[in-house]
Amino acid sequence: MHRLRHLRGELPGRSHRREIRKFVTSSVFKKPGDISVKECPQVLKRGGFMITGKYLVAVSIWLPVAAALLCWLGQSYSLRNIVSYLTGIILAVCALGLFLSGPFDYQPGEIWGLSWNTAISAADFALLALILYIGWRQRHKLIIILAAIQALLLICFDFGLGGSEIEPVPAFAVDHLAIIMALIINIVGSLICIYGVKYIAEHEEQHPVAKSRQPRFMFWLIIFLGAMNGLVFANNLYWMYFFWEVTTFCSFQLIGHDQSDEAIGNACRALWMNSLGGAAFALGLVILLRYGGGDYLSMQYLLSHHTAAGATGAILLAVSMLVLAGMTKSAQLPFQSWLLGAMVAPTPVSALLHSSTMVKAGVYLILRLAPVYAGTYLSSMTAIAGAFTFLAASVLAISQSNAKRVLAYSTVANLGLIIACAGINTPTAISAAIVLIIFHAVSKGLLFLCTGYVEHEIGSRDIEAMEGLADRLPAAATIFTIGIISMFLPPFGMLVGKWAAIESAAQLPLAAFLLVLASAVTALFWLKWLGRMLEGRPGAIAQREIMDSHYIASLGGLTAAAVLLSIFIGPVVNSMVTPAVTQYYFSPGLEANLETIAAGSGGLFSVWPLFILLALIAVAAGFLYQPRKVKNPPVYLCGENAGLPESTVFMTTGENMGEVKLSNYYFTGFLNEARWSRVVNRVGLIMILLLLGVTLW
Amino acid sequence: MELINKSRVKSPWLLHYDGSSCNGCDIEVLACLTPIYDVERFGIINTGNPKHADILLITGGVNKKAARVVKNLYEQMPEPKVVVAVGVCACSGGVFHDCYNILGGIDRVIPVDVYVPGCAARPEAIIDGVVRALQVLAAKTDKEAVV
Amino acid sequence: MVKALMVVLLVVIMAPLLGGLLTGIDRVLTARMQGRVGPPVLQPFYDVLKLLGKEALAANRRQVAWALGYLVLIIASLALFCLGGDLLIIVFTMAFAAGSFVLGGFSVRSPYSHIGSQRELLQMLAYEPVLILLALGVYLQTGSFMVKDLFHQSQPLLASMPLVFIALLIVLTIKIRKSPFDLATSHHGHQELVKGITTEYSGPYLALIEVTHWYELVLLLGLAAMFWTHPLGAGILLALAAFFIEMVIDNICARLTWNWMIKFTWTGGIILCLINLGVIWVLRAGGV
């Protein structure tokens, strides 16, 4: 709270606010190329207004810790409620403040005489000890082995190679990509936490437990936000590794929330697979220190010393380890089973960790390292591995009738697409990757939250149970419609990303081919699902739906974000994506103004005409169909209709009646999930081995 | 509106239903679609869907079980519509008029506009009946205000 | 800007007239192939006008909204095509239009409509890769995704992308709903499907869908005409020849299953495109 007062004391007067507003408006609507981030701090300094960014960074990491502890110790619903709302609002404000302040570096000072480096080192070992203990308790060999390997690597790093002495500065570097991630984590994440407070209360009503686990749930959910903030701001790779492990641990705790055998089993699987990534990360750190020297532990140094020439040798091997870590975190083939298993967790967990933020940490790292491995075989292999995941996961999604599993496979697929863009490594592709990150986080989070809400209302998460949702829960169906369309259709942001990706993929033919196939496949499973929700009886009157304020805030907020961000994608690209790309690449990749986006290959996309048309369609439909003037006849059942006009009961043989039963195609015979998973996992494993292999070669 | 009225006559889509016919008249109806008689010259298409049809072509007398079906099909057709009863069984029950299960001709269940007698009705007669039905349709729409 | 609006207006007014005329010619030629006389050439217009005069029946508003979405988005794709826009965006907008049609079919709890929509989705799965590969092929050959840059080519696309053109013919067969791919709906009723997706549409709403099919026909034939832009007359002849080939295929084939359709397009269609694109890639890499 004292931090807030501190900030409030530094707020500018009215004239300065006007100046800042003028700056913001003029900068986001400038033509591309005119925007200069360097202008920003000067304008602000001139106004005597110093957003001290370092406080925002500190707040965004420490406030969640404090808030999480409050939720856990407080034990009351209303306390959790207030804390979630307040934390969410403050974090969102912090992120916006960081966006306005622009890039900067931050090196925190000492605490109680100890350097932060030592503190984090100690915390790291403590965490590994905890994971070892968990592995021992669960009798899970892989967890124990991988935690032990990580501990050994860390000991080698700290004491064998003298890593504990080295402190690359700055520890935190907030640049454009980090700001984008921070906006996603703090705004989307906050909305999900607000949703989560209410959701977990309802969850416990429906599945009563002896001692309430809600405080624990909110503790891990909120503290995770702090860890993610730390991860994206970290410039010191050792610190990033620490935050990485914390997010793994949060994921483990949250997946196992229900404490059923299935939950614990899946939590352990997530833990060992992410630990494998952690071990790769640690190995990468050791290689960097041993063969590159302490300077290479700073991301800025790594990027600035290997951008133009492209990395070789040991540095590239270390980078490939980091890429592998990113792939396990983002549940790419063959590691996707942990994400699928994580769907047993309550929905806010799936939304926050397993679609919007934690899995984004993996692609964030791979994307951030892209300038380092540009032009190498590692880049091409990454692109092909990502594209293959995109295809395989999309195909597997067709066979799922569990809504959350469809969303999980879709998440794996889209993360594969982002990684493929990072691998293609042209300015357009990198811009596409960032655009995809932003829009996927919003839309997928929205879809997960809506699925959770519907699951509580109808008691099932099966797509077949969602038949006719448009008449039972019209608001939820509308949100689903917007969410699903925004995932893969023009003129929404996800499609802009996919379009830019395909436009830039032509130089890597295999990747381009896989992207093309996958693009065709995604429409099938989305439209199938949406179709079931819209299937209604003739003349059915939509029921009144009453949504709790938490749900209105989170679902409404994310829906509005999905639509508005897509409409104003021009300013979004100009103010966020282009600065991030031009920092390391010499052209912006995507050039945008208010209505049009141009890709590097010469393609052009006008966004606004389609939005205007969609609005016209919605309005015109109201005129074309006026309930009083249009009759609602029964459906055609060969004349055998036997009930009221709105029913689908029909006469069969004798005097028997039958009811129409409908279902989607799931192709479970051909697309047997177990068999196909074995096949694609093998191919995925070969790809990972090739990925590591080409760097060695 | 003049154009729409003219189009109604030039584009009659029909739904063919067999009430309880011996299929004799049905075969003659299908013969109309073949190259020898070629009713598509008049724009006639045999849709299988009452929601798309203007003319309901029924053969055979109606029994108790078919009565519900005939009513359903008739009600699912949008206005303006006409009904043509093809064959003497559809007109009055024909040879089966006194059977315990036959209610009689189609007009026991739904209003019929044109009766085409014959056992089986010849394709020329059926085509003539459809053309007469179009004239009834045109007359109907002049009287009612549809759309 | 004004010029663009004029083009769009011209397209919106003339395309359905052209499409309807082509549909009428299709029916007459099909009839002649079957040894019949066939309807008058203007028959499709009589059909649509008659439908407009029927009573309005529908299940709910969303059924109508999605059908309207199908119409508007196809017009948008066609307009974008005539303005020389990005081919990839045109393909994706067409996908949205087709998806809108599918959702309209799904809006009612009717077995025939449901099966029609499921099959239409499978049709989309079948032809979508070929269309995107077509766009990629155009980019590889000409260096641009924009349709308007095709008019600056010295060599017609047909010379460098003949296999892609054949694959496009397969896509055309599916999209204008000709046998063997008239699985989701077609101009005549089917035994097991009745009218498929359009079963629960009637009157003015069915007229809307009919007109949308006319626009779509013009757009698809435009994609075929794109293969010969200098002189444009040759492209138009090419498109009409493609249309005639479709009529012939329709009359000699029986309807097959969706299984077969996907196998055929994903092996035959995609392999044709890959070979063609591969040759272009090699020639470009060698030449440049």
Task: Report which of C103, C128, C64 is spatially closest to residue A485, judged by C-alpha positions.
Answer: C103
Tell me: cis bond preceding A645? Omega within 30 of 0 counts. no
* Record: contact B79-C54, CB cut-off 8 A: yes
Q: CA–CA separation, B85 vs B130, rounded Å?
A: 10
Provide, as residue numbers in chain A, all residues whose Cβ is less than 8 Å from the Cβ of B64.
none
Task: Determine the residue among A636, A644, A650, A652 to mutate to test chain B binding: the one whose Cβ has the most chain B Cβ atoms within 10 Å.
Answer: A636
Is B101 an 8 Å CB contact of chain A? no
Q: Which long-range contacts (CB under 8 A, 24 or more apart) does C256-262 make?
A: C256/C180, C256/C181, C257/C183, C258/C119, C258/C122, C258/C123, C258/C126, C258/C183, C260/C180, C261/C122, C261/C123, C261/C126, C261/C174, C261/C180, C261/C181, C261/C183, C262/C122, C262/C125, C262/C126
Distance between CA atoms of residues A27 and A40, nearest Å: 10
Q: State the smallest CA–CA distance between residue A612 and chain B in angstroms.
A: 30
A313-322, A338-347, A388-397, range with the lowest pLDDT: A313-322
Q: Which domain holds residue A648?
A: 634-662
Q: In which band, very low, low, confident or very high, does the pLDDT at A628 lie, cut at 50, 70 and 90?
A: confident
Q: For a pLDDT cut of 90, what percent of chain C falls above it?
A: 81
Q: A34 or A284, which is more confident?
A: A284
Nearest CA in chain B to C32: B35
Count how many residues are written for chain A. Answer: 697
- Average pLDDT over chain C reads 93
A651: contact with B, CB 8 A cutoff: yes
Q: How much is the pLDDT for A164?
A: 76
Within-domain flag for A187: no
pLDDT of residue A112: 67
Distance CA(A492)–CA(C214), nearest Å, equals 27
Point out the residue among A502, A527, A604 whose CB comes nearest to the CB of C85: A604
Interface membership of B117 toward C (CB under 8 Å): no
Chain A positions in Cβ-Cβ contact with residue C117 (cut-off 8 Å):
531
CB atoms A640 and B69 under 8 Å: yes
The pLDDT confidence band at residue A36, using thresholds 50, 70 and 90, is very low
Question: If you write DSSP's letter for every residue of C53-90 in order, what string do you get?
Answer: TS--B-S-HHHHHHHHHHHHHHHHHHHHHHTT-BHHHH
Q: Nearest-CA residue of chain C relative to A540?
A: C60
Spatial distance between the Cα atoms of C77 and C155, rounded to a whole number of angstroms: 26
Q: How far apart are CA C41 and CA C52, in angstroms?
A: 19
Per-residue pLDDT averaged across A3-32, rounded? Answer: 41
Report chain B residues whose CB lies below 8 A from the CB of C194: 48-49
What mean pLDDT do residues C181-191 have?
83
Question: Would you call B141 and C53 a contact, using CB atoms and an 8 Å cutoff?
Answer: yes
- Kindly give, in sequence order, each residue whose CB lies less than 8 Å from that of residue C34, ignoring residues fewer than 6 positions away: B35, C251
**B142 in reach of chain C (CB within 8 A):** no
Which of B76, B110, B147 is best to mutate for the A interface (most A CBs within 10 A)?
B76
Query: Mutate which of C52, C81, C86, C282 to disrupt the A interface (most A C-beta within 10 Å)?
Result: C86
Structural domains for chain B: 2-141 (3.40.50.12280)
Say if A633 is an interface residue toward chain B (CB within 8 Å). yes
Domain count, chain C: 1
* Res A665: pLDDT: 93
Q: pTM of this prediction?
A: 0.92
Q: Does a structural domain hold residue A42? A: yes
Between B4, B6, B38, which is nearest C52 by CB?
B4
CB contact under 8 Å between B50 and A638, yes or no, is: no
Q: Do A509 and C281 touch (CB under 8 A)?
A: yes
More confident residue, A539 or A24: A539
Q: How many percent of chain A have pLDDT more than 90? A: 65
Helices (H), chain B: 2-10, 24-33, 64-76, 88-92, 123-143
Residue type, C70: Y
With 90 as the cut, is the pLDDT of residue B35 above it?
Answer: no
Residue C228 has pLDDT above 50, yes or no: yes
Share of chain B above pLDDT 70, in %: 96
Q: Rank A27-36, A95-104, C15-24 by mean pLDDT and report only the highest.
A: C15-24
pLDDT tops 70 at residue A50: no
For residue A26, how many other CB atoms are within 10 A of its CB?
A: 12
Distance CA B37, CA B44 (A): 12
Q: Do A523 and C125 touch (CB under 8 A)?
A: yes
pLDDT of A312: 67
The reply to whether residue C38 touches residue B41, judged by beta carbons under 8 angstroms, is: yes
Surface of B (17-36) touching A: CB under 8 A: 17
Q: In the prediction, which pLDDT does A28 show? A: 34
Query: Is the model more confident about A514 or about C193?
Result: A514
**What confidence category does residue C102 fall into, taking pLDDT thresholds of 50, 70 and 90?**
very high
User: A636–B50: do the CB atoms touch at under 8 Å?
Assistant: yes
A513: pLDDT strictly greater than 50: yes
**How sure is the predictor about A29, in pLDDT bands with cuts at 50, 70 and 90?**
very low
Residue found under tokens 């209410």? A198
Report chain B residues whose CB lies below 8 A from the CB of A624.
none
B8 touches C: beta carbon within 8 Å: yes
User: Domain limits at C224?
Assistant: 2-287
Kindly determine whether residue C53 and residue B10, on different chains, have CB atoms separated by under 8 Å.
no
Nearest chain B alpha carbon to A640: B69
Distance from C-alpha of B112 to C-alpha of B64, rounded to nearest angstrom: 18
**Set of chain C residues whose Cβ sits within 8 Å of the Cβ of B41:** 36-39
Contact A184, A364 (CB under 8 A): no
Residue C288 has pLDDT above 60, yes or no: no
Mean pLDDT score of chain A, rounded to an integer? 87
Half-sphere exposure of C183 (CA within 13 A, CB side): 22
The alpha helices in chain C, defined as continuous H runs, are 2-33, 43-52, 61-82, 87-106, 111-142, 157-160, 162-175, 203-225, 232-252, 258-264, 270-287
Say if residues A416 and A386 touch (Cβ distance below 8 Å): yes
Mean pLDDT over A216-241 rounds to 94
**Nearest neighbour of C92 by CB, restricted to A499, A521, A627:** A499
Q: Is B144 on the interface with C (CB under 8 A)?
A: no
Q: Which of A508, A522, A525, A617 to mutate to test the interface with C (most CBs of C within 10 A)?
A: A617
Q: Do A444 and A414 contact (CB within 8 A), yes or no?
A: yes
> Which of the two residues, A556 and C287, has the higher pLDDT score?
A556
B143 or A617: which leads in pLDDT: A617
Residues 25-44 of B with CB under 8 A from C: 35, 38, 40-43
Q: Residue A98 contacts by C-beta under 8 Å, 6 or more apart in sequence? A: A53, A56, A57, A60, A174, A179, A182, A183
State the Cα–Cα distance between residues A639 and B48, nearest whole angstrom. Answer: 11
Query: Is residue A149 a part of any domain in this protein?
Result: no
- Chains in contact with chain B (at least 3 beta-carbon pairs closer than 8 A): A, C
Domain annotation covers residue A44: yes
Q: Do C188 and B46 lie within an 8 Å CB cutoff?
A: yes
User: What average pLDDT does this structure show over B103-117?
Assistant: 94
Find the mean pLDDT for residues C8-36.
Answer: 95
What is the mean pLDDT of the segment spanning A167-188? 91
Chain A, chain B: beta-carbon pairs less than 8 Å apart: 26
Q: Is residue A78 part of a domain?
A: no
Biggest CA–CA distance in chain A, Å, is 90
| A contacts of B76 (beta carbons < 8 Å) | 633-634, 636, 639
Residue of A nearest to B71 (CA): A639
B70 near A CB under 8 A: yes
Contact A534, A454 (CB under 8 A): no
What pLDDT does A7 receive?
Answer: 41
Contact B73 A639 (CB under 8 A): yes
Residues of C with CB under 8 A from a CB of B: 27, 31, 34-40, 43, 45-47, 49-50, 52-57, 187-190, 194-195, 198-204, 206
Least confident of A105-109, A179-183, B46-50, C85-89: A105-109
* A527-576 pLDDT per residue, tens: 999 999 999 999 888 888 889 999 999 999 999 999 999 999 999 999 89
Percentage of residues in chain C with pLDDT exceeding 70?
A: 99
Answer whether residue C41 shows pLDDT above 90.
yes
pLDDT at A12: 43
Asked if A636 and B49 come within 8 Å (Cβ–Cβ), the reply is yes
Subunits adjacent to chain C (3 or more Cβ pairs under 8 Å): A, B
Amino acid at A6: H
Say which of A517, A621, A637 has its CB closest to residue C65: A621
Lowest mean pLDDT among A291-305, A514-528, C73-87: A291-305
| Chains adjacent to A (≥3 CB pairs closer than 8 angstroms) | B, C
- Supply the pLDDT for residue A51: 54
Model confidence band, residue C106 (pLDDT cutoffs 50, 70, 90): very high
So what's the pLDDT on residue A692?
A: 87
Residue B69 has its nearest CB partner, among A633, A634, A639, at A639
Out of C38, C49, C195, the one facing B47 most closely (by C-beta) is: C195
Cα C106 from Cα C116, distance rounded (Å): 9
Assess contact for A372 and A229: CB atoms under 8 A. Answer: no
Q: How many CB pairs under 8 A join A and C?
A: 188
**Within-domain flag for A13:** yes
A655: in domain: yes
Domain assignment present for A16: yes
